[in-house]
């Protein structure tokens, strides 16, 4: 695949010629005429979701952290380390994907996503600085190097990204799109559940509030890659290999369960190895359905953490306007002025 040109006087910006990839765009952001209306709706929603982590008070969380059980602290630290890696690699990777996207409205939302991923990284730094003792702060950033399970987990997704940078062909680009979708739609959520579980017991409430806001952003990122996948598949017959998609999903589910059992297992009240398997496979089935593919895990059709949904509520007063667990968003944003999610 070739990168889009930065300066392309011979490009054609008509909607009939516009494509997600392999288009011949001038690279001018002509947004008066938009082909992919879902991107236009999503842009407005993402812009309405701006937030600053430092506005959330974490004072009580420092006391709560010291009162966590040993297993809860270990899980808190480990999950935080994993989330830091995910948002760090996405901040660096999204511009690489955008280099090959030839629809300006999609480039626009990918730019916002890059910004949001950077905000997430700053949010984790704020949590670490506010809550953790000085002597353990650097340990959180380096944990992925020392923990074999976490290292293998991180390496799988990172090597897919690196392979495309080293060999930017269609096969590797297709894998990157699937990997991005997996990261955004599957990798975060057992970790998010842990923080919501603590909040359900009135522990680490400030951390939970930060996670809610990150969670809200990630839902929009799920939609980005869900829609990009469907558009690319529609415009480029045979671009994605279904067998490879299922293989990557199965690997991601295996690693997600292995990592969650390693860092949480049966040691945290409210989470067990059984519920981890049920939730992860249920979520994977939902994510496959969202891109028009059949689910692969028979019998995993219920969410064991449904009761935690109220802790993912960013609208307040228990008014959950988006189904965090299913990712079927209606108006999951600070501003209620934007509609249009229903079509997803």
Output b/e per residue, 107-121; b: 16+ Cβ within 10 A: bbbbbbbbebbebbb
Q: Which pLDDT score is estimated for 307?
A: 86
Topology (CATH) of 37-343: Ribonucleotide Reductase, subunit A (1.10.620)
Q: Which pLDDT score is estimated for 153?
A: 86
How far apart (Å, rounded) are the C-alpha atoms in residues 74 and 61? Answer: 15
How far apart (Å, rounded) are the C-alpha atoms in residues 225 and 214? Answer: 17
How far apart (Å, rounded) are the C-alpha atoms in residues 263 and 21? Answer: 39
**334 with 51: CB under 8 angstroms?**
yes
Neighbour tally for 171: CB within 10 Å: 14
Q: Which pLDDT score is estimated for 142?
A: 86
124 an active-site residue? yes
Query: In the chain, which ranges are E strands?
Result: 322-323, 328-329
**203 with 269: CB under 8 angstroms?**
no
pTM, entire model? 0.90
How far apart (Å, rounded) are the C-alpha atoms in residues 342 and 322? Answer: 10
Query: 73: which 2 tokens?
Result: 């602290």
> What is the phi/psi pair of residue 38, to 5°?
-60, -35
Long-range Cβ contact pairs of 111-119 (< 8 A, separation 24 or more): 112/43, 112/46, 112/47, 113/46, 113/220, 113/221, 113/224, 114/90, 116/46, 116/49, 116/217, 116/221, 117/87, 117/90, 117/91, 118/91, 119/51, 119/52, 119/53, 119/217
The active-site residue out of 124, 181, 305, 332 is: 124
Q: Which pLDDT score is estimated for 136?
A: 84
- What are the sequence ranges of the domains in the chain? 37-343
Per-residue pLDDT of the chain (344 residues), as tens digits, is 889 988 899 998 889 999 999 999 898 888 888 999 999 999 999 999 899 999 999 999 999 999 999 999 999 999 999 999 999 999 999 999 999 999 999 999 999 999 999 999 999 999 999 999 888 888 888 888 888 888 898 899 999 999 999 999 999 999 999 999 999 999 999 999 999 999 999 999 999 999 999 999 999 999 999 999 999 999 999 999 999 999 999 999 999 999 999 999 999 999 999 999 999 999 999 999 999 999 999 999 999 998 888 777 645 444 334 443 344 433 333 333 233 334 43
How far apart (Å, rounded) are the C-alpha atoms in residues 231 and 3? Answer: 19
């Amino acid at each position: 695949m070739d990168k889009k040109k930065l300066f392309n006087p011979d490009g054609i910006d008509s909607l009939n010629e516009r494509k997600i990839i392999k288009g011949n765009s001038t690279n001018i952001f002509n947004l008066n005429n938009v082909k992919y209306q879902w991107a236009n709706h999503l842009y407005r929603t993402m812009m309405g979701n701006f937030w600053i982590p430092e506005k959330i008070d974490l004072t009580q969380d420092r006391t709560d952290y010291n009162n966590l059980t040993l297993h809860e602290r270990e899980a808190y630290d480990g999950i935080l380390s994993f989330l830091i890696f995910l948002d760090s690699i996405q901040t660096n990777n999204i511009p690489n994907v955008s280099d090959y996207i030839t629809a300006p409205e999609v480039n626009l939302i990918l730019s916002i996503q890059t910004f949001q991923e950077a905000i997430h990284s700053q949010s984790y730094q704020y949590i670490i600085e506010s809550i953790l003792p000085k002597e353990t702060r650097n340990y959180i950033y380096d944990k992925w190097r020392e923990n074999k399970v976490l290292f293998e987990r991180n390496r799988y997704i990172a090597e897919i990204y690196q392979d495309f940078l080293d060999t930017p062909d269609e096969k590797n680009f297709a894998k990157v799109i699937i990997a991005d979708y997996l990261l955004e739609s599957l990798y975060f959520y057992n970790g998010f559940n842990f923080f919501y579980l603590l909040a359900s017991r009135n522990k680490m409430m400030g951390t939970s509030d930060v996670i809610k806001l990150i969670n809200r952003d990630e839902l929009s990122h799920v939609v980005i890659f869900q829609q990009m996948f469907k558009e690319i598949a529609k415009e480029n017959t045979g671009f994605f290999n279904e067998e490879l998609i299922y293989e990557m999903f199965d690997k991601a589910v295996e690693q997600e369960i292995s990592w969650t059992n390693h860092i949480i297992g049966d040691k945290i009240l409210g989470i067990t190895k059984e519920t981890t398997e049920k939730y992860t496979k249920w979520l994977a089935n939902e994510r496959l359905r969202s891109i028009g593919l059949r689910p692969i895990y028979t019998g995993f059709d219920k969410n064991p953490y449904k009761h935690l949904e109220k802790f993912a509520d960013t609208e307040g007063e228990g008014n959950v306007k988006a189904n965090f667990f299913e990712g079927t968003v209606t108006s999951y944003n600070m501003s209620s002025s934007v509609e249009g999610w229903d079509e997803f």
